[in-house]
Amino acid sequence: SNVPAITLNNGSVMPQLGFGVWQVPDDEAARAVGTALEAGYRSIDTAAVYENERGTGQGIAASGVPREDLFVTTKLWNSEQGHDSALRAFDASLERLGLDYVDLYLIHWPMPDTGKYVETWKAFEKIHAEGRAKAVGVSNFHPPHLQRLLDETGTVPALNQIELHPHLQQSGPRAFHADHGIATEAWSPLGQGKELLQEPELKALAEKHGKTSAQVVLRWHLQVGNVVIPKSVTPARIRENIDVFDFELDAGDLDTVAGLDSGTRLGPDPDSMHFTG
Ligand code: NAD
């Protein structure tokens, strides 16, 4: 496919656009992942807490796409933070996925109140050294959490996966990431398909380019340098979301999208996220 690749700070090459499977039931994940792989996606984003690693792995196995052509990400759930529990949780994720390595393993949330993410990261360094995760990174880390890893451990996260869309453009964290060689990955890149896609400015850009609002938003992410992982279970939308390589936003269009930043979160603030269930 024509999805561009980015090179992470450990040398791993990652497709800039992938497929997210949050809220896809385990028994639908194989079909959705199969549709995505047929449409040309090569990167899949799951997590232990999504409870669909098994279906995701089945979709991968059934696709016939060679393992080395795929980029598979999963995440450690909050309740499993800690050195030994992270090692055990990683083994269980690999087993459910039916894989002998993942391309990227992420700490799902920093959970700063529990104070375990540094210890957890040391387990991630071990998993990385063993080659069982080709790259390791984090999710939902604010710059002070990242700074603590930089100060107290020897491995810079390859990537930070954060909530990011035109209503929450995250310019401070993006600048911090760029300064430290950490890639920025956008979760809920389409704003979960809600109010964002109804913005009149996005509808006008969609009209101008003969594309949809969703495609305009994905194109914006790619042009500003974000990795994106849009989710859909609808085959036509799965295909639509990867059909973004035949047009380009111009400088004025990018300014228009920049103007939509309202700082509005759809998910929790990582500093006040206490959910472990
Ligand atoms: P998203 O922004 O990708 O939006 C998905 C929703 O938008 C779909 O359910 C559908 O309702 C709608 N949609 C999709 N394509 C569309 C189209 N072409 N036109 C119109 N509507 C469309 O939201 P998301 O699923 O929250 O985020 C994407 C992925 O990010 C997840 O699947 C998951 O892998 C990851 N994620 C990670 C975290 C984290 O804490 N690390 C949190 C949330 C999501």
CA dihedral sign of residues 42, 45, 46, 50:
negative
Report CA(232)–ligand 1 centroid distance (Å): 7
255 inside domain: no
Ligand 1 mutation pick, 192, 216, 220, 271, max ligand atoms within 8 A of CB:
192
214 inside domain: no
Burial of 218 (0-12, 13-18, 19+ CB in 10 A): buried
User: Residues enclosing ligand 1, CB less than 6 A?
Assistant: 20-22, 45, 108, 139-140, 161, 187-193, 197, 212, 214, 229-232, 237, 240-241, 267
Residue 50 is among the residues annotated as catalytic for this protein: yes
Q: What range defines the domain where residue 26 resides? A: 15-194+225-237
Which pTM was predicted? 0.98
State the Cα–Cα distance between residues 89 and 183, nearest whole angstrom: 25
183 inside domain: yes
Atom 27, ligand 1: residue with shortest CA distance: 188
**Number of independent structural domains in the chain:** 1
Whether the CB-CB separation of 172 and 151 falls below 8 Å is answered with no
Q: Tell me, what CATH number does 156's domain have?
A: 3.20.20.100
| Low-confidence residues of the chain: pLDDT under 70 | 1, 274-277
- Residues 165-213 pLDDT 10s: 999 999 999 999 999 999 999 999 999 999 999 999 999 999 999 999 9
Centroid of chain to Cα 98: 21
Pick from 223, 169, 213: nearest CA to 193:
213
Atom 16, ligand 1: residue with shortest CA distance: 237
Quick check: ipTM above 0.85? Answer: yes
269 inside domain: no
153 inside domain: yes
